[in-house]
Structure 1
């Protein structure tokens, strides 16, 4: 059992660890102009990332997700999979990817210790996919998902950001996709970030409306398990796959929060939408600071708020989701 528990009784056994801010896609809702970061900034080194993993694991974290940006653009990505998989106490190593390298590497990454994979796929239509992502690799991403299924990952999920007047009408196509495939599609409600208010206002659609459509089609809401995250899961006896709804504007969304985030620059973020991050890098220079690092994590966790303030339009310092690992 984890020692990472906040003052509201929530336990945090899940670390989302960003290894780069860089991404090679230009998704409208995240990086519409492509990655424009500071080329001189230095992301956490492999050793610094290893120390972060060990500190969290020593406090009871059992799951690490390597995120970005696009994590697979980092040349040490495969090395970091191995480090995470061989960290004592870590039972699940996951990643979230845009899928552009997945077809060629799914089996290799599985052998290295990657056990769960989420693939971003905002449309099953090639032209709409190109419009949303600024990229024409639609078939390559689909091939990657099939390769991941063939490699027998413990879980394969597809992330779809719901957007009014863009892709929300594709619900029937996505349902047909999971009829024969053991894949969970997670529809993610569009969230407002610092750079995206106008886009949010134009394209936000409530996940509740999707839930109502699914229930009307015979999908059944599943009970939430003790280690489940914030996704509301639905299943249907006629479908091999499931549907998850991530609805950050829903009532009590934060009550099931079970994850913490560390950015590629070494800051602890207690929430995706915090006003500031807590500096960790000063304690990542050598292995002798592990106890101090763990104490800082425990102390800062007591500052975590009960909920985000998205309903008030407060998005913190998150300018785009690539800057903090989503």
Structure 2
């Protein structure tokens, strides 16, 4: 079992398979993607070694991220590889949803259990302004297609000051009849966008209190759950989740590690640097990698230090898929 010096156990791996994305979200890649090409990222055999090692150490859930993971031509093969690895019980992905309407059933057939779709507004103009793509209808069609396949569907919305008022009520109206979990994510400061953070950051604390006052009730967390505090309401088909990385004790329940598309292990989304484990992946040495991972966990810190204004080496979120 992967366990750090603070007694936290890590059942959940967030695996980035590309940094590339063809959206231009204001808080991530406002000028578009200009990084390395896909041929520099982890190969399928390297991913196989990685997943086997993590599964052998108790990891039961893998989230495939990017960038936009569906831009990789072998994305479906990555899903199937993860799902067919002994010990992996749940495979999820995070996507902007641009290809979801077309490919949801194909991904489901390959073994995908859950999809998280990024939708920062239900107003078409606001969506286009934030995402840099006028594709809200296409993305919403993808959400419906994913629901129809039987996958668990979650929607991620970055909680921005400029859009919070009107969008909140639109989202709540949508949840009346839509069986998804909508997660509002506090904007996190990254190295490339300090000014945007200062202009747009909004704490989720008051929103949490508002939900409780309206009769929303907390949902118990599972061992492989992500960082969201989730709430349900008897009058709504959907749930609401809050991800508040600046809240007290946010890191106490950390259960996830990250591997970037370049083969670096990140003990935290905002670590100072990634730890290169690619030589083990290139050698296909599962046992040696398992031993190395156990040793590296002793280096994990108690907190991300975001509250102190430290953004580490994360210049933009597409580097690690959030």
- TM-score of the two chains, using structure 1 as the length reference: 0.96
Aligned twin of 1:140: 138
Q: Alignment partner of 1:285: what SS? A: helix
Can you list the C-alpha shifts for 1:290-323, whole angstroms capped at 9, x where unaligned?
1111111101111100111001110000000000
Task: Indicate which of 282, 285, 289 corresponds to 1:285.
Answer: 282
Give the superposition deviation at 1:229. 2.9
User: What residue is the counterpart of 1:157 in the other structure?
Assistant: 154
* Counterpart-to-counterpart distance in 1, 2:113 and 2:226: 17
> 1:40, 1:104 → 2: CA distance?
22
The match for 2:291 among 295, 301, 309 is 295
Cα offset, 1:256, TM superposition: 0.7
Cα distance in 1 for residues equivalent to 2:171 and 2:60: 31
CA displacement at 1:257 relative to structure 2: 0.6
Q: Tell me which residue corresponds to 1:20.
A: 18
SS of 1:16 mapped into structure 2: strand
SS at match of 2:62: strand
Give the conservation status (yes or no) of the 8 Å contact 2:61–2:224.
no
Matched, 1:310 2:292: no
**Residue 234 of structure 1 is aligned with which of 231, 234, 238?**
231
Match of 2:128 in 1: 130
Q: Secondary structure at the match of 1:264?
A: coil
- Corresponding position: 1:33 with 2:31: yes
Answer whether contact 1:122 1:167 (CA < 8 A) is retained. no
Aligned residue pairs, count = 322
Q: Give me the whole-angstrom Cα distance separating, in 2, the residues matched to 1:78 and 1:164.
A: 36
| Preserved CA contact (<8 Å) 1:103 1:143 | yes
TM-aligned CA deviation for residue 218 of structure 1: 1.6
Match of residue 198, structure 1, among 195, 200, 207? 195
* Partner of residue 41 from structure 2, selected from 34, 37, 43: 43
Helix, strand or coil at the partner of 1:284: helix
Compute the displacement of 1:172 (Å): 1.0
More displaced stretch, 289-298 vs 23-32 = 289-298
C-alpha distance in 2 between matches for 1:234 and 1:297: 34
Distance 1:301 1:40 in 2: 28
1:1-326 to 2 correspondences below 5 Å: 3-39=1-37, 42-153=40-151, 155-287=152-284, 289-326=285-322
Relative to the length of structure 2, the TM-score reads: 0.98
CA distance in 2, matches of 1:121, 1:195: 22
CA change 1:77–1:61 in 2 (3 A) is: same
> Matches of 2:21 and 2:233 in 1, distance apart?
35
Partners of 1:172 and 1:284 lie apart in 2 by 47
Q: Is the 8 A contact 2:264 2:276 kept in 1?
A: yes
Separation in 2 of the partners of 1:202 and 1:9?
A: 37
Offset, 1:40: 8.3
Contact 2:16 2:261 survives alignment (8 Å): yes
Look up the SS of the partner of 1:174 in the other structure: helix
Give distance in 1, aligned partners of 2:240 and 2:79: 27
Structure 1: gaps of 5 or more residues? none
Unmatched 5+ stretches in structure 2? none
